[in-house]
A and B are shown apart, each in its own frame.
Chain A
Amino acid sequence: MSQVPLLISKGDYFHGHFFCMASPCEVLIETQDTLLANHILQQVVVQTSRIEQKYSRYIAGNLVDRINHSNNSWVQIDQETHRLLAFGQTCFELSGGMFDLTSGVLRKIWDFTGNGQFPQPEQVADILKHIGWQHVEFTEQHIRLPVGFELDFGGIGKEYAVDAAAKLCTKLAPTISVLVNFGGDIQVTRPRHQHAYWQVGIESPQPDKSPQRNESPQRNESPQRDESPQQVAPFQPTEDAAKNTYAMVKIASGGLATSGDARRFIMHNNVRYSHILNPKTGYPVTGAPRSVTVATDFCIQSGMIATMALLQGSEAQHFLQAQHQKHWCYW
C-alpha cells in the first residue's frame, strides 16, 4: 500500500479512498463526524494492509511464502489462517473440487494479461501434478503442503478483507452504515439512516464499451432481498464505477461480489478464454458468462457463488437460479 488514504465529505457521508490489494479501495461512512470517519478509515487501512501483507503470494517471507517453501514440512499457523483454510475446505467440498486453494500454480502456464501464449498439453499435465486440495493436511495449529504445491488465497483474499473491514466498522461504529468496496467486492454493515440503502453501479466487463439497453442484465427477480419498488435514492454511485455501469444495485445491508473476465483473458485461435481455470483439467472454463454478480449476506459468500457459477461454464445461469440469491449475469 503506497497511497495515502483520502477522506472527503460528501454531505451526509464521508468517502474514504486508498489503494490496496492491487485495487482501488473505498469506504463510505454515513456520518458527519470527521474524526470518527477518519478513525474508521485509518483502522480499515491498517487492517487491510495487514491482511495483504500476511496473505499475498507476492510478498517474500510472509506466511504464505513460508508455507509455499516449506518442503513438505509442517508450518505453524494462527487461528485466522486456520479459519481461512477451513473456509477453503468447505468451498472445495461444496464445489465438488472445482474451487481449490492450490490451483494458483496454474498461473505459471496461463498468462491472462491479454498477450499470453496458450500452453502446451504437456505443460498442463505437468502442472496438474501439483494441484489437489485433498493432498493438503492441516490442523488448527499447522499445515503441510506436498513439495511443488502452492497455497494461493487470491480467490478469496479480497472478499475476506472486505468482510473483515465491514466487521471492524461494525465494531467501531455499530450504529453507522458503512459501505466497504474493494475493487467491486462490496459489503454494507447496516441500513442507512438517511436513504435506507446505498446505490452501487456494477461495472461493465468491457470498460471500453458503453452500456446498451439490450445488454441489460438478466435479473433474478426473487423478492426476498430487494424491497423495491421504492422511490429512487439520490444517485450515489461508488467512485469510478459510474462510467461503465450496466446495472444499478441498491444495497441496504449485506455483501455483493462480481467475478468476471473484464481484463483477464487469453486469446487462442480467435477464441477468448476466461481466466476461470478448472483445477481438474488445468484449462480455462469455456462458455461461461463474462461476468457474474451475486448479492448475499456476506461479500465472501457472494464471491464464492459467483466464482462457482463461472466454473459451471454455460450452465452458470441455471446454477445461479438454483441458489435463489439475487444475481446479475453478463454474457
Chain B
Amino acid sequence: MQLIKSKNLSVSLAAAACALLNVGAQAEEAPADEWKFDTAILYYGETDRVQLAEGVFNANKDFGDQRIFNGKIAIDTLTGASASGAVAQQEAQTFTRPSGNGQYVVNPEETPLDDTFQDTRVQLSAQWTQPLWENMTGSTGVHLSKEYDYLSLGVNGSLARDFNQKNTTVSAGVSYQYDSIDPVGEAPVGLTSMVVDTGQFADETLFDAAFDATRTTDSKDKNTVDLLLGVTQVINRRMLMQFNYSYSVADGYLTDPYKLLSVVNSEGITQDILHENRPDKRTKQSFYWQTKYASDYGIADVSYRYATDDWDIDSHTFDSRFRVQLTDNSYLQPHFRYYQQSAADFYQPFLVEGTLLPSVASADYRLGEMTAYTIGLKYGQMLDNGKEWAVRLEYYQQSPKNAGFDEPGALQGLDLYPSIDAVIAQVSYSF
C-alpha cells in the first residue's frame, strides 16, 4: 500500500475535515472577543393619542475574563397628544397653550388633550462589568438622556457575590439620577388658574403680565436615589429564581408642568382650570420575584412585582412569557402582562367649587386607579451565519377607573376615564 508518507496527509485530512464541517481553518475562527450588536426599531401607537418610534443600537464587547462593556444609543420620536387632566364638557373648552402663545379648543364631550405634544429624545448609556476578586463581580455605568425640555443624568454601581458553587448570587446596587426640566413657557405655579384670553385683556401685554404672574423660575430639578438588593438562586438544572427589593427616594420637582385640573360647580360645569401640583418627595419600595423554567418544550419566564409608595399608589404587575422552540433555529414567544394600580392620595379627577383647595392635587390619569394588560407574540430566528432576527407584535389596553368620586350633574354623561388602546410592533436584528 502506498500511503502518502509525510505531513501532507494530515494537512489534506485537516482541509477535508474543514470542508466537511463547513468551517474555516481553526486559526481563522472568529475570536471570542468580537463586538456583538443588537439593533431594534420599535413603534408604539395609541389610538388617537401618542405615537412613538424608537431606534435602539446596543453594542456588547467581551474583553475576556468576563470583563464586559455595554454601550447603548436610543433615539425616539414622540408625536400626538395625551390627556391633559381637564375633564370633558358638554360645551367646547378653550385652553391656553403651555408656552402662552395661542390657544386651542376642545370640542364638546371630547377629552381635553394637550395637542402640541412632539419631542425627540436621545439616550446614551455605558456599562462596565468585571470580576473584582474571587466570586465577586462589580459593575458600574453612566447614562444620559436629553430631550427638548428635559435632561437626565445618572450613575450606578453594583456588586454581586456568588455563593454555594455559584448557585446563589447576592447583589447590591445603588444608583443616582439627576433630572432637570425646563418647560416650554416656564413652569406654572402649582394650583394657580390657567390664564385664558377670552377678551378680558385690553392688549397682549396685559395678557402676558397675567400669564407671567402664574409662572415661576424656581429650580425644576429632581434627585433620585435607588437602592437595590437581589438574590438569584439556581433551584435545579431547569429552574432559576430571582428576588429583588428596591427602595427609591425622589426629591425635588415631581409635578408635570403640562397637566391640568378642572374645577367644576355642583352641576358639573367647569368654572376654572388649575395647573396641577404634586408633593416634592416620593418614596417607593418594590418587591420583585421572577422564575425561569426550562422544560423540554421551551422556556417559561414568569414574574410578579408589588410596588408601594408614600403617595399611596400600590401596584401589582404580573408578567409571563413562554418561549417555544419551533425548530433548532426558531422560536415563538407569547407574552401576557397584567398591571393594576390604586390611585395616589392626592389624585382628583376634578375639584368641586366651594370645597377647600388642597395643597397638592393632580388629575393625571397615570396617578389614578387603573388596570392594564398586554398580550403579544414574538417570533425569532437564528440564521445560519449566527445572526438573529425577531419580530414582536403586542396589543396594550389601559383602563383607568373611577376611584370612588361622585360625578356631579353634567359630568355623569361624559367619559371621564377614557381607556387607551395601543399597538406595539418591534423588529430586531442581532449581529
Give the Cβ gap from A300 to chain B, nearest Cβ, in Å.
Answer: 5
Taking a contact as CB atoms under 8 Å apart, the answer to whether A32 and B328 are in contact is: no
With A38-B294, A325-B10 known as contacts, the answer to whether A298 contacts B1 (CB < 8 A) is no
Q: Report chain B residues within 8 Å CB of A90.
A: 12-13, 16
Give the residues in chain B near A43, CB-CB below 8 Å. Answer: 328
Residues in A with CB closer than 8 Å to B17 are 87, 163, 297-298, 300-301
Q: Residue of B at shortest CB range from A308?
A: B3
Given contacts A296-B10, A298-B14, A304-B13, contact A38 B2 (CB under 8 A): no
Q: Give the residues in chain A near B166, CB-CB below 8 Å.
A: 32
* Contact segment of B20-28, B122-130, B312-320, B335-343: B20-28
Considering the chains assembled together, what is the distance between the CA atoms of A301 and B1 in angstroms?
Answer: 20
Residues in A174-209 with C-beta less than 8 Å from chain B: 174-175, 190, 193
Q: Complex formed: what's the CA distance from A44 to B3 in Å?
A: 35
Residues in A whose Cβ lies below 8 Å from that of B14: 296-298, 301
Q: Tell me how far the C-beta of A320 lies from the nearest C-beta in chain B, rounded to whole angstroms.
A: 10
Assembled-state Cα–Cα distance A319/B10 (Å):
11
Is B294 within 8 A of A322, CB to CB? Answer: no
B62 interfacial by beta-carbon distance below 8 Å: yes
What chain B residues lie within 8 Å of A96 (beta carbons)?
Answer: 1-3
Interface window among B110-118, B233-241, B248-256: B233-241
Docked-complex contact B4 and A300, CB < 8 angstroms? no
B204 within 8 A of A: no
Q: Is A7 an interface residue (CB 8 A)?
A: yes
Q: Does B9 contact A (CB under 8 A)?
A: yes
Give Cα A304 to B3, complex, Å: 13
Question: Residue A297 contacts which of B6, B26, B162, B234 (CB distance < 8 angstroms)?
Answer: B26
Task: Give CA–CA (A164, B18) in the complex, Å.
Answer: 11
Number of interface residues of B (CB under 8 A): 41
- The interface residues of chain A lying within 8 Å CB-to-CB of B5 are 319, 322
B32, CB-defined interface residue at 8 Å:
yes
- What is the minimal beta-carbon distance from B142 to any residue of chain A, in angstroms? 26
Question: Are A305 and B234 interface neighbours, CB within 8 A?
Answer: no
A38-B32 contact in complex given A9-B165, A90-B13, A175-B62, C-beta closer than 8 Å: no
- Please give, as numbers and ranges, the residues of chain B lying within 8 Å of A323 by CB-CB distance: 7, 9-10
Q: Is the C-beta of B102 less than 8 angstroms from some C-beta in chain A?
A: no
Check: B386 CB closer than 8 A to any chain A CB: yes
A87 and B165 contact, CB distance less than 8 A:
no
* Residue interface bits A80-117, CB-to-B below 8 A is 1, else 0: 00011011001100111010000000000000000000
Give, as a whole number of angstroms, the nearest-CB distance from A149 to chain B: 22
* B240 and A94 within 8 A (CB): no
Query: B12 to A94, Cβ gap below 8 A?
Result: yes
For A268, list chain B residues within 8 Å (CB): none
A39 vs B296: C-alpha distance when bound (angstroms)? 10
| Chain A neighbourhood of B13, CB < 8 A | 90-91, 94, 296, 301, 304-305
- Contacting pair B237 A87 (CB below 8 A): no
Residue among A9, A32, A34, A312 facing the most chain B CB atoms (10 A cut-off): A34
Q: What mask results when residues 262 to 300 of chain B are scored 1 for a CB within 8 Å of chain A, else 0?
A: 000000000000000000000000000000101010010
**B65 proximal to A (CB < 8 A):** yes
Among candidates A9, A46, A87, residue contacting B16 with C-beta atoms closer than 8 Å: A87
Interface status of B19 (Cβ within 8 A of chain A): yes
Q: Is the CB of A319 within 8 A of B21?
A: no
**A167 within 8 Å of B by Cβ?**
yes
- Assess whether A34 is in contact with B21, with CB atoms less than 8 Å apart: no
In-complex Cβ contact of A171 among B65, B240, B386 (8 A): B386
Measured between beta carbons, the chain B residues less than 8 angstroms from A175 are 32, 62
Q: Closest CB-CB distance, B386 to chain A, in whole Å?
A: 6
Closest to A322 in B: B5
Q: Contact check, A322 vs B6: say whether CB atoms are below 8 A apart.
A: yes
- Report if B30 contacts A (CB, 8 A): yes
Q: How far is the CA of A324 from the CA of B162 in the complex (A)?
A: 45
CA distance A106 to B19 in the complex (A): 29
Name the CB-closest residue of B to A42: B296
A234 at the interface (CB under 8 A from B): no
Residue A223, interface by CB 8 Å: no
A55 within 8 A of B: no
Known: A174-B32, A175-B62. A83 touches B19 (CB 8 A): yes
Inside 8 A of A42's CB, which chain B residues have their CB? 296
Interface residues of A in 143-166 (CB under 8 A from B): 160, 163-164
One of A170, A300, A312 near B1 (C-beta < 8 A): A312
Complex contacts, A94 vs chain B, CB 8 Å: 3-4, 9, 12-13
Give, as a whole number of angstroms, the nearest-CB distance from B332 to chain A.
17
Task: Using A32-B167, A42-B296, A174-B30 as known contacts, list a sample of 9 further A-B pairs with CB atoms less than 8 Å apart, ordered by residue number in A.
Answer: A46-B328, A83-B20, A91-B16, A96-B2, A297-B26, A301-B10, A308-B9, A312-B1, A322-B6
Q: Please give me the 3 A-B residue pairs with the lowest Cβ-Cβ distance, nearest first.
A: A32-B166, A298-B17, A90-B16
Q: Can you pick out 25 interface pairs between chain A and chain B where the beta carbons lie within 8 Å of each other?
A: A7-B237, A9-B237, A32-B167, A37-B237, A38-B294, A46-B328, A87-B19, A87-B20, A90-B13, A96-B1, A167-B21, A167-B22, A296-B13, A297-B26, A298-B17, A298-B21, A301-B10, A301-B13, A301-B14, A301-B16, A312-B1, A319-B3, A322-B7, A323-B9, A324-B10
